[in-house]
Structure 1
Amino acid sequence: MVYLSNYLTPHTDTVGDIELLRSVFRACMGRRVQLLFVAGPAGAEDATDAAEQTGKGIIARAANDLCRYYAAREGVQTKILRVPFLYTASAALEDPFFAPLFDACLTGSVALQGAVDAAFPLLCAEELAVLVRRIFDSWDASFETLDVADTFHHTSGEVGEALKALFPGLAVTYGDSAGYALPASDVVRVRYGWFQRYDLLRDLSTIQARWDTGRAKKVNPLRAAIDRIQLRTLPIKCLETGVAWVLFEVLERLFSQSAQLNVLDYRLLYVVLIGTLYGLDFGLVAALLASVGLAVSYFTQYGYTFQGLFYEPSNWLPFIAYFVVGAVCGYVQLRNSEAIKVERNRNELVRNRNTFLTQLYHDAIEDKRTYKRQIVGRHDSFGKIFAVTQELDVLNPRDIYRKCCELMSEILENDSVAIYHVSGGAFARLVAASPAIAEDATRSFSLEQLAPLLGGGGRSNLWVNRELTPRLPMFGYTIERDGAPAVLISVRRAAQNQMTLYYQNLFRILCGLVESALGRAFDYEAVAQDKRCVDGTCVLKQAAFGQELAAEQALADSKMGSFLLLRVVPGMEPVGELVGAIGSAIRENDAAGLVDGDVLYLLMRQAKACDLPIIRERLSAKQIAVEPVDGEDIVALLQHISYTGDGEGGAA
C-alpha cells in the first residue's frame, strides 16, 4: 500500500492528512500489509530551529511520528519515503501545481512563497513510481526513513526565471520562506540503484505546451450541454423529473380540448424525454408518474372507477405502453452512453498516443540536430576521444600519467583521479593524482588492501565500489602486463549522477586508451633499456635521466605529484662501484642517473622534504651520503642536460 501525503505539492493548504493516515493505519492493524508513506520535504527531521519550523513542517513531522508509533506498537510494516515536491510530465494527467500556476501566469503576475534563493526541490512523479516499485521488490520488515536527495538543487528564483521565459512580460514576486532543504543521502542510490534523471527546468516547456494545448481544445456546445445534463447529481435529476412531470400534465390538461393538439400524447413524450436523457431507472420512474397522471385523468375527466379501469383489459394498454417505451428508451440511452464512453476512451488513447509519437518525433529531430552540433565539440564525443588518443601518443610513462590525470579530470568532470604503479609485486605506489587530492592521497597500498579491486573487475578490468568499502576508490581500472597488475587508475569519489552505466563506459574507454599508450611506452622502455642505462646497471644515462627528471618536474608544476632530487656526495668509494650498487638502495619506482660521467643523482618519486631524514637513514645503511638539490639547481641541471646531452641512448 502506498499512502501519498497531502504535502507533496508546493503551496498545499489541504487539511485532515493526519486523521486520514490514522484511519488507514487502524484499518491495517492485524493484517499483513506493507505500507509506504510518501512524505514531502516539509517533514525533514533536521529542521528543528524555531526559524525553520512552520505549521506544515510540524504537521508533516507529526505524521512521521504517527508512522513510527504504529510500526512499533502495532507491528504494521511501514517505511517513510521523503521526496521532493512532485510534478508530472504526463500528457494524460493535469499537474495539480503547475496547471493553476500557469493559469495565474496568464494574468501577467504570479507570486511564489519562497525567497529568491530558497530551495525548491522537485521530482517527476513518473520517476517516483519506478522507485516505489523497486522498494516493494526488495521490501524488508524493518521501519526506516528513506530520503531522496535533491539532485539538481533548483531555487525559487530559477523557477521564476523559467516562467518568465515561457510567459514574456510576466512579473514574478517572491515571498520570505526559506524553503525546504532535503538531507543528502545515498541510501536510495546504493540500495535500489535509482537516480533522478528528469530536470524540471528542461521539462517545464513541455508541460506548459501540453497545458496550452489542452486549454485550447474546442468542445461542441450541444454535446457539452447534454454532458452537463447527464452529469448532474441525483437530487437534481429527481427534481427535474418531477418538474417535467408537472409541466407535461399541465400541457395535457390545456390541450385536451383542442382538436389539433389533442392528437399528441404528452405523457408519452414525457416518458421518452426522461428515459432518453437519464437512462433506464429514470425512464421507468417517468413511466410510473405518467401512469399516475393517466389514471387520475380517467377518474376525474371520464368518470371511471377503479374496478371499471382495472377489470377492462383494453384500459391497460396505455399503461403498458408507457413502461415499455420508458424501458426501451432508457436501455437505448444506457447502451449508447456506454458505447460513447468506450469510444471516447479509445479516442483519448489514440490522441495521447499520437501526441506522444509526435513529441517523440520532434524530440528525435531535435536530438539529431543537437548531436550533430556536439559530435565534435562535446567533451566526451568521438572527436574528443580522437584528441585524447593524440595527447597520449608519447613514449614516456610519466608524461602519460600526467596527461591521463588532466584528460580524465576534464572529460569525467571529476577532480579525484589517482594513478598507482605496482612495484615489486607487493605494493601499488602513487605516481600521479589530480591537484585537488594530490596532497592527501594515499601514497602506497599493499596489494592485499587492493584485493577487491584487483580481482573484482572481471574481464573488463573495471571495478565499481558498489558496497562503498572505506578507503577504496569508487572506480578502479587495472592495467595488466604479462598477466600481472602493472598500473591502477582510480577515481576516489564520484557524485550521485556519476554512478551510471554511461559514466562507467566512458571511464572504461578512457582507461583503454591509456592502457594502449602505456603498453607502447613500456615496450619501448624494455627494448631501449640497454641504450638508456649504463651497462650492467639500472642507472640511467644523462639524456634519459634528463627526460625522467623533466617529466617529474612537469608533474610537480601541475600539482599532480612531488619528488626529491638528491645528489650523491662523493666518498671513499669510486663512482663506478656506487653505480653498480645503487639499484638495491632505492625503490623500484625511483630512478638514478649519471650526469657528466661522474655525478650520480637519485630521483625519489612521490617524496617530500619531510621524508628526507628517512631516505638518508636508509641510504646511510648502504654507505651512501646524499644532499638535496633545490628548485633553482634542478632547473639549471635540466638546462645543462638539454644543452650537452650524452650523444647516446636518448629516449625518443
Structure 2
Amino acid sequence: MKVLVTGGYGFIGSHVADRFHKEGHEVYIIDNLITGQKKNIDFKHKGYVLSVEDEKCEEIFRSNKFDAVVHMAAQVSVPSSITNPIHDTESNVLGLVNMLNLSKKYHVSKFIYASSAAVYGEKTELPIKETDACVPISPYGISKWVGESYCKKWQEMYGLQTLGFRFSNVYGPRQDARGEGGVIATFISRMIAGQPLHVHGEGNQTRDYIYVEDVADAIFRASYSPLTGIYNLSTGTELRVNEIVEALKAPQVEHVEKRPGDIERSVLDNSLIKRDLDWTPMYSIQEGLERTYRYFEQEWAKAEAAATAAVEPTALRAVSRHAYKFLIPYAENLLAFALTAWLTLSQQYSSYGAIDVKLFYITIMGNLYGNRQSILAVVLSIGLFLYQKLMDGREFISLLYDTDFFFQIAIYLFIGLVVGYSIDRKNAQIQNQEQKLEEMEGKYAFLHDLYNEVREVKEELQMRILKSGDSYGKIYSITKELESLEPEQVFHATVNVVKSIMNAPTVSIYTVNRTGTYLRLVAHSSAQELQAPKSLKVGDHDYIQAMLADGKVFVNKQLSAGAPLMCAPIYYRDQIAAVVAIDGLSFETFSLYHQNLFKVTTDLVSSALSKAFAFIEATENQRYVEGTSLLRPEAFQVILRSKQLAKEQNQTPYLLLRGKQTDQHFAEMSDRLDGMLRETDYIGLDEDHHLVVLLSNTSLEDANHVLNRFAQKGISLQVAEEEL
C-alpha cells in the first residue's frame, strides 16, 4: 500500500510514518519543515519539502497513486493561533482542503485527518463524548472544527472515505517543546537543562495525556478498517499538571501567569474507538514519561557533544564572515579617499583648472557599493574640499558667504545621490531577478525530481499494464465483438468496444464518401448532451483535412471548439474508409496511454472492417438481386437487425420505408433510388419481396420530408408498420 503522510517529519507524523514502514508499506511524506525535522525519519522513503496548501502538491498525487493519506500537517499551537489566526487558517483549513480535493481527484481510498480536543472548548460534564456540542474557544479549535466539516462534506459529496481523530494531549519522543500538547516535552527539556519548571496558573488544569505510539497504532489499524466519521483518541484518564510535575520529580517549580485560551479541565471518552476499532492504549503515563525522558536525555547529550566540537568555531567563522562583509566596503572607501586626497593635495593637481579627482572618487564609490558608500564619499570629499580652502588662506566664516563653495558642495551631493540611487535601484532589480530565478530553479528542481521518479517506475508501470488481467480482458473483448463479417455490425460493435475501452461517453463513426468531401455518420453512442452531427463537410474542418492528408490520429491538445478529443482513420486497402471519433473523456485522466490504447483499438477495427469489406466483395453476387443494387431479403435482414440493435443500445435512429412495386419494376426503381440515397443508406427486398428503403440516422419526425422528396421523383413509398 502507498501511504502519504503529510507533516511526516513532525512529532506525531514521524511515528505514524514509522509504523507504516515497519508494516512493509511504501511511505511518502510532504512537510514544509517549519516544525518537522528530516532526522526524525531514518528509513527509505520519498519526501517532498512543501506546504500542504502549495499547488505543486498535485504533481505528487499525479505521479503516485496513493491508497491512503494521513493528514497530520498543521499549525498546532493555541497561543500562536490567537496571535496569528491567518497563518493558522492557511495551514489548518486551506491545506486540508487542498489535500481533500487532491485525494478525491486521484481516487485515494482512505483519508485520515488529525483533529483535536480543542474543538470541544470548555466543558463541565466530563468525560467528553463525540456527540457533545463543539464550542471551540480558540482559532486553533475553530480551524480543526471547520476541517472536520470539510471531511464530512467530501465524504457525502464525493464518496471519499474520511476518518477524523480528535486527539487528546499527545506526548512522547521527538516532540517539540511548543504548544499546549508540548507541556511534557517542555517540562523534561527544562529539567535536563537544570531549569525550573514553569507551571501556568495553579497547575490544577487537567488533561488527557496519550503516548504517541498509541496514536500511531490506532491510525495504522484504522487505515485498514471501514471506519469513517469522527472519533476521540485518548486514554480516558484525567491528570492534573501538578500530577505530571510530581511524576517527573522536578526539583524546581515556578508558577507563572495562566495562558490565554487555556481550558481548565479536559478528558475525552474513548469508549467508541475502543469498541469500533478493538483498540486500547498500551502505555501508562509512567511508562510513557520514562520513555520520553530517556529520549530527551539522549538528544541533550548528543547536542552538547556536537556543540563542544563544532559550535564555537562555526560561530566564530560566521561572525568573522559577517564582520568582513560589513567592514570591507568601508576599508576600500577609506583607501580610495586616501589616494584621492594625495592626488588632490599634490603639486601636480593643485593648479587652477586641474581635474577634480574627488568627483571620480564619489562616482567610483557609488558605482561599486551604492548609496551608502557614495554618501560617505561625499562627506569625505566635502571635508577635503573645505581643508583645501582653509589651506589656501580662506577664512571659515567667509566660506559661508561664498556661493561657489556651496555650488561645489551641491555638485558633490548631486553626483553622490544620483549615482548611489541609480546603483541601488539597479542592485534591487538584480536582486529581484535573482530571487525570481531562484524560485524558478526551485520549481525546476522539484519537477526534475518528479521526472526522475517517474522514469524510475516507468518500466514497472508498463509491466503492470501489460500483465493486467483487465488489459487482457479488453483485448479479448475487442477480438470477440469485432468478429462479424457484416460492416454494419462491425460499426455497431466498434461503438460499444471503443466506449468500453476508452471509458468515453461519446463515440462516433463516420464513413468517407466516394469523393472524399463528406463524412457520413453510421454509428454513435447515446450521450444526449454531445450528439454527433449526421454529416461533416471535410472542407469546413481543418482537423479532418489534416487527418485525411497524413493518415495519423488527431489529438485535440488545444481543446479547440468543434473538434472531438481524438479521432483516428479506419483503413481499407490503404485508403481511409471511415473515421472513429471520441469525445467527453475527462481530460484530467487523459494521457499518452489513452492515445496509444485508442490507436491499438482503431487498428483492430481497421482489420475487422477489411475482412468484412472483402467478404462483401467476394459474395456480391449472392447479396444483390442480379443486375440491380437491391439487397436480397436475407442480406437486408442482417443489416436491419444491426440497425435495430444499435437503436436499442445507443438510440441511433433509422427509418424503414416500404413500397408496393411488383417484381418487374425493381430494376427501374433501384436505378432511380440509387442516385437519391447516401452512402449509408440501403435499398433491398423484404421477406415478402416488397421494395424497402433503410435510411440511416433518420428519425420518424423526418418521414414526411423524406416521403415528399421521393414523391417528387415519382417514387411512392410509405413508412413501414414496424416504425409506427
Q: TM-score, normalised by structure 2?
A: 0.42
Higher relative contact order (Cα pairs below 8 Å, separated by 6+ residues): 1
Q: TM-score, normalised by structure 1?
A: 0.47
